[in-house]
Structure 1
Amino acid sequence: MQMNSAPHLLTEDRPEYERLLDDALRHAHERPELAAVGERLNAAQLRTMALAAVALITATAAPEYEQYVKTRDEARAPARDTASGTAPDGLIQSGAGIGAVVTVLTPMLAGTAAAIFLLVGYLLKMLEPPPAFAGPMVDAGWFFAAVTAAAIFVAAIGLLIAALRNGSTSLSAREAREQLPDDVARAKDAWRQALLERGIVPFLRDALAEPAGPAVPAPHRPTGRLPKIGYSRPDFAGPDEGPAAAPRPTYSSPDFTSPDFGGPEHEPD
């Protein structure tokens, strides 16, 4: 299979690959080349194999994927420029942060002050005669109590408005992701089609066509000749065919002469 060098499948595109694979396995019965799903390999086994071979499969649609990523990045570039251009709005965000802090701290501080003033004021009123400032302290306590109630009400309204604004923003972002620009949508569809027809389906077809394993020969009776297993037996040659033997030492018998022909020392008596 001819494969081109493909860019690495981005993490954000991995779920799309898995969805396409699951859809191909779900509708495998509609393709004659995948009709054998479930006979030797089931859908779960094929899915595991295809996930393990994601680099090989996605390489078959490398040009379409590269074009899709390029088009998507170009579409996202204006949004990034707009986001970077809103840096001066940081003052507004910091102001909103200060407002949130004040909204949270005001009920706490006002409530604490109200409790202190009311407690001390009513304790002073129990004295005989009550001090002159006991009444103003009680009035101050009720004032801070009113401030606490108002701050709690304002904080609740602020939280409700923030929740509604965040919810509408999240919905808009989700809709924006689903509604891709036309050029990005076309590039994505081209990549999906190429990945399905040139990558996923041929991979599943080849996996189903692979034999279960090498055939194991049936046991057989050994013949009279030993099987050759890689070692040759030594070559024994007959005496006529072998190399010439080394010369053997020769022995001559002793030369014995008769007594008649002996030397003078053996003269006959």
Structure 2
Amino acid sequence: MKVIVAGYPKTGTKSMNAALTQLGFNVYDALENLVYLQDEYIKILENGWTTEDFRRMYETVDAVCDTPACFFWDEIHKAFPDAKIILTLRDDEDVWWKSLLSQLKASDKFLLKMMEMLCPTSTRACIRILNPISTVMFGGPYRNPWSLKPWTLNNEQLAKKCYRTHNAYVMETAPKDKLLVYKCSQGWDPLCQFLGVPVPDEPFPRKNVGGNVVNEIDDHPIFRQLKKELMVSVVKLTVVSGVIAYCTAKYGPVKIAETIYDQAKSAFQKLPFG
């Protein structure tokens, strides 16, 4: 691990991911953290962690950013004390809050809702990682994956307080010689100088502008995996629904209910305490 991006979501983390990738770093962003390291983060959130856990998780990764890694930046740094820390910021907390709300609105799409409801990987990430981590990072849970209501954060003051507290903690705690407080609007120069790498000829990348991240990650291998998982779930659900509809039409709902009851009763009676 060489670089830890400790900034909150909506502080330019997707642009940082693209910039660090362009500079030759192997980066774990939110998708990689939530899918490749799903079991590890569930264990961390539910049972605690050791420094060795984070060392094992990121020993082959050059850089990390976004949720949930940004919340555990100091634990990751304890595992990799030579890593440099970048705290990405917006111009002020009002700009950050408006950008966060814009992201929530833009991400409230049918495909993502279906993934949360029907993809085991997405559902598990929502319930066991995003919900608990969002509660401490933004003052409220992510959302019930089976709810069709849009995700909203109702407590603006609490979310801003969480944002301020996190930034203050990073600036107070991180070793000064390893910390860069940075805005993506500053471009390549301060970032490359801090990392000790040449400045690219290409413009600094601007990603997820206006919450457009879903379109930008459409070809990401993890996103393609999740879409395949969704298709499998839809096929299974369709087959089960067809079987239920056929049996109901042939035997009637009362007979179906009686059969299910009898089978459940028989299975229960076979249990040691049945």
Q: TM-score, normalised by structure 1?
A: 0.22
From the two aligned structures, give the one with the greater strand fraction.
Answer: 2
Q: Which has the bigger relative contact order, CA under 8 A and spacing at least 6?
A: 1
Q: Which has the greater radius of gyration?
A: 1
